[in-house]
Structure 1
Amino acid sequence: MSECIDDECLSIIQGISRTGKFAKLFTELENCDEDMQKQKIIKMNGLIEDMNKDECKSIFEIFSFNKLDEMIDKKKISVKNIILLLKHAGYFKVVTCVSSFCFNNSSLPRRFEKMIVEELKKEEKNENFLIELCECYLLHKERYIPSKLISNCLPFFFEVSLSKEKDEETQKKVEMALLALSCIKAQNRIEKTMYLEEIKEIIKYHQEHHNLTHLAYQSAWRFLIFRLRNGENLEEVIMNELHFVRESARELEDLTACVDWKKSKEEMKILKEVQIIRNWTDEMIDPLEHYELRKDDVARMILSLVKLCIASRDNEQGMTGDCLYILKGFAENATVSVDVFLKEGVFELILMEILESTLDDEITFYSLQICFLMFEMLNEETDNDAEEAKRKAAKMELFENLEEEGYEDAIVSFHGILVFLQEDYDDDLSLNISDYFVNV
């Protein structure tokens, strides 16, 4: 009788099989002619497409960049085939957020830098070849990239990225170019004159004509946010001219709606849309807590996060935790009023999580923090009679709803773990259980 294999074990077995097949095909490349190499690389690329983040990370450890460099030296592989392999592998490396310094620590980056410089020196440049070389290099290179290489190659990338066509082939080229640009991280300083007008045009044109894929649009924003993080004064452009809060909220709503959230956890790991959502919640939206935000924009962002939390809570708890962390940041932002949280369903979401018997520590911690912050805001009296009446009415309505749901009993059950949560997350959490009650 065959034993039953659960989904997780099956996934591990399949993963070992994929990475094993990839490694075997890689070792066979050296002894093939160019056409056979191409066929094997196409198979390798197909295996990569079915890999999750852990599998992608493992093949980049297996991946011998030095061996590829040696094969180029010995003319045992063409640059064309190298590009076919590295470009596809790099795309999935970046999309699945794999960080690997294997490429950095090999001899291959210098090979690519030399080829790029040689192509740039030519009077009649092969621009497609140059862009593909740069894409392979940027998609695999971690952290610092020579500033001269960036300045020389940016115009070619923008020429591709500014294409206005909507056909599938053009969209793929634009997506790859913008994804490569998004790999130029904050450690790499770039003069505004070299990128600002171009990236603004790309973003504004998409806002009007919707010509980019979700990944391409996010990549354009990511490139710009990295420039903000390295000290460029871009707040006015990002927040008010390009409407980052409104646009990122809309993207989250669109992506949340197009994902089948009933898929298994293993299936979720390889969904590109889920990876794009993670990029928004992991590194894109978090900086918002530091800026003054328009009430309408922040209300929409809060609503989009609530919807994402509800959609992802069954099989993507890490994403739920990310959303709650961002909502906590909004609650700490003095410019975001409590009525926005109440109107956009934050408390209903928090109540749902607190009353859930299978809460994990992270979700419990952020839920309690948001509760405490909201109650603090509700307890702040005002000299404006109309606002004061509105505040008292909101407190009374919330009190009655929470009493009906049995909220206070649920909170009392957390009393024994408050100290543990505060120590575990090394952050402020009120240890007075009455601070989590609405007193009217």
Structure 2
Amino acid sequence: MTACKRKGKNIVDKFFELFSNLKKSAKIMQLQKIQQINELTNKMNVDEFCSVFSTDLFNEIEQMIKRMKLPKENAVVLLKNMGYYKTINRLDGDEFVCLPLVRSFDLMVFNENDKIEDKNEKLLVDLCECYMFINKRYPTGMLLVCVPCLLKAALNKEENEEAQKEVEMALLALRNVYLWDDLKKEIYLNEIKEIVQYHQEHHNLTHLAYQSAWEFLINRLFFDRKLEEVIVNELHLIQESTRELDKLMEYVDWKEKRKGKGGEEDKVIISWLAVLDIYFSSCKIRNDEYVKLFNSISRIFQTANTNHLEICNRCIILFRSVAKSRAVEVDELLKSKVIDVMLEEIARLDALNFLIERYLSFFKELIDRLKSKMECMEEAKRKETVRKVVGKMEEEGYEDCIIGLSQCMIVGEFDDFYLIDNLDDYFVFC
């Protein structure tokens, strides 16, 4: 514990030492120091990053730009790397919404965009990315400038590494356009479809870029339910996400215990699980490939179980959304491995495990669905369902587990983790 704190303190102190030297450096030397700062940032864990990239730091950057001690071309190199880290780690940014730095980038974006002559397209893309990385709430006027600009950058089909990285950065910035940000389809749909479909044919995007393109599109479902037809039947979300998750599993070191800073592949898996949770929380279209996807996620869940707690946690949250989704038939869950792996896991948990509430919530949703389903079943079909589900639950000791948890769980010790008062809700009576 002491060693970890000492390491964290050293990396933070070194960051501020490098940053303080920026003010005294010429433009060329500033870029060298910013590259060093960026390399240091990429080694930080989340706590270290959040302690460094604070309101105070952003206010200082804004003052340096304002007083011409930090050229905006240099500022974007620093802020784009910061935005990359913030977004890939799915960190919030509410506290930065009203910062002077946000307003400064707002003005810089409009000024560059409004130029008739000598417009610097590369700088405009950089400014838009920085604006979307340091902010979280975007006025419609800014979206109408930034989204087309970033989509245009993401449509670059050059295959060299530098171009690929710039495409990845543009799509990562677009991932920050959240559920509640309303955009007309005319602004983005043809472009994002082209990006996704071109990748499906040519595999030109990184895993992170491809996931980010999907997340941007799925977030638009909040305002336009008709997009689900495009997402599922035209762009094949279920098939593509299954393939991506299976591929990403090959790159993760599952034997290494993650302590707050995993590799990029870990984080892309987490982002896929998060965006699929958004999808299944509201989807209405049935799909024949759900079972394959659920089996893929079940494999991730079992593999992540020991060393990758955040991935495991995201799987459970997603399973709960799947159990609730009316687009998913109970039979599809029965055919998949989801119920098996969840039963195996809950049997070894105790009431003090902080994930217990989420496991229980999954079974509560599943059993509610089963009870509803069996009410309108024919006798033969009802008996088959009993054989598949209730028999499996008895085999795994599910009912004994629930009763045992109810006896040892102290209501109120953990505010969010408790069994619902009526234990009958956790059982299927046939």
**Into which bin does the TM-score normalised by the smaller protein fall?**
0.7 to 0.9
CA change 1:378–1:201 in 2 (3 A) is same
- The correspondence for 2:141, drawn from 119, 143, 148, is 148
Aligned positions of 1:223-302 closer than 5 A: 223-231=216-224, 233-266=226-259, 269-302=261-294
CA change 1:136–1:316 in 2 (3 A) is same
Structure 1 counterpart of 2:129: 135
Q: CA deviation at 1:284?
A: 4.2
Query: Do structure 1's residue 88 and structure 2's residue 81 form an aligned pair?
Result: yes
| Counterparts of 1:235 and 1:427, CA distance in 2 | 35
Structure 2 counterpart of 1:123: 117
Q: 1:330 is matched by which residue type in structure 2? A: V
Using the size of structure 2 for normalisation, the TM-score is 0.88
Aligned positions of 1:136-215 closer than 5 A: 136-145=130-139, 147-215=140-208
Query: Do structure 1's residue 303 and structure 2's residue 295 form an aligned pair?
Result: yes
CA change 1:378–1:54 in 2 (3 A) is same
CA change 1:235–1:302 in 2 (3 A) is same
- The correspondence for 1:56, drawn from 49, 74, 81, is 49
**Which deviations, in whole Å up to 9, do the C-alpha atoms of 1:2-59 show, x marking residues without a partner?**
xxxxxx5433332222111111111111112223222211111001111122222111
| Counterparts of 1:374 and 1:191, CA distance in 2 | 37
Bigger CA drift: 87-96 or 58-67? 58-67
| Counterparts of 1:376 and 1:181, CA distance in 2 | 38
SS state of the match for residue 132, structure 1?
helix
| Counterparts of 1:59 and 1:143, CA distance in 2 | 22
- The correspondence for 1:409, drawn from 397, 400, 417, is 400
Q: CA deviation at 1:204?
A: 1.6
CA change 1:359–1:350 in 2 (3 A) is farther
Using the size of structure 1 for normalisation, the TM-score is 0.86
Q: CA deviation at 1:170?
A: 1.7
Q: CA RMSD in A?
A: 3.0
Gaps of 5+ in 2: none
Structure 1 counterpart of 2:342: 350
**Which deviations, in whole Å up to 9, do the C-alpha atoms of 1:161-217 show, x marking residues without a partner?**
112233322210100111112222344322221111111111122222221112111
SS state of the match for residue 342, structure 2?
helix
Q: CA deviation at 1:127?
A: 1.0
SS state of the match for residue 370, structure 1?
helix
| Counterparts of 2:419 and 2:287, CA distance in 1 | 27
| Counterparts of 1:429 and 1:246, CA distance in 2 | 36
CA change 1:297–1:9 in 2 (3 A) is farther
CA change 1:116–1:396 in 2 (3 A) is closer
Aligned positions of 1:23-34 closer than 5 A: 23-34=16-27
CA change 1:9–1:229 in 2 (3 A) is farther
SS state of the match for residue 180, structure 1?
helix
Structure 2 counterpart of 1:370: 362
**Which deviations, in whole Å up to 9, do the C-alpha atoms of 1:54-74 show, x marking residues without a partner?**
222111117522322332333
CA change 1:311–1:76 in 2 (3 A) is same
- The correspondence for 1:97, drawn from 65, 69, 90, is 90
| Counterparts of 2:238 and 2:354, CA distance in 1 | 25
8 Å contact kept, 2:252–2:265: yes
Q: CA deviation at 1:283?
A: 4.5
Aligned residues: 428
Q: CA deviation at 1:158?
A: 2.2
CA change 1:88–1:329 in 2 (3 A) is closer
Bigger CA drift: 277-286 or 131-140? 277-286
8 Å contact kept, 1:378–1:391: no
8 Å contact kept, 2:55–2:96: no
- Sequence identity (%): 36
Query: Do structure 1's residue 339 and structure 2's residue 304 form an aligned pair?
Result: no
CA change 1:118–1:302 in 2 (3 A) is same
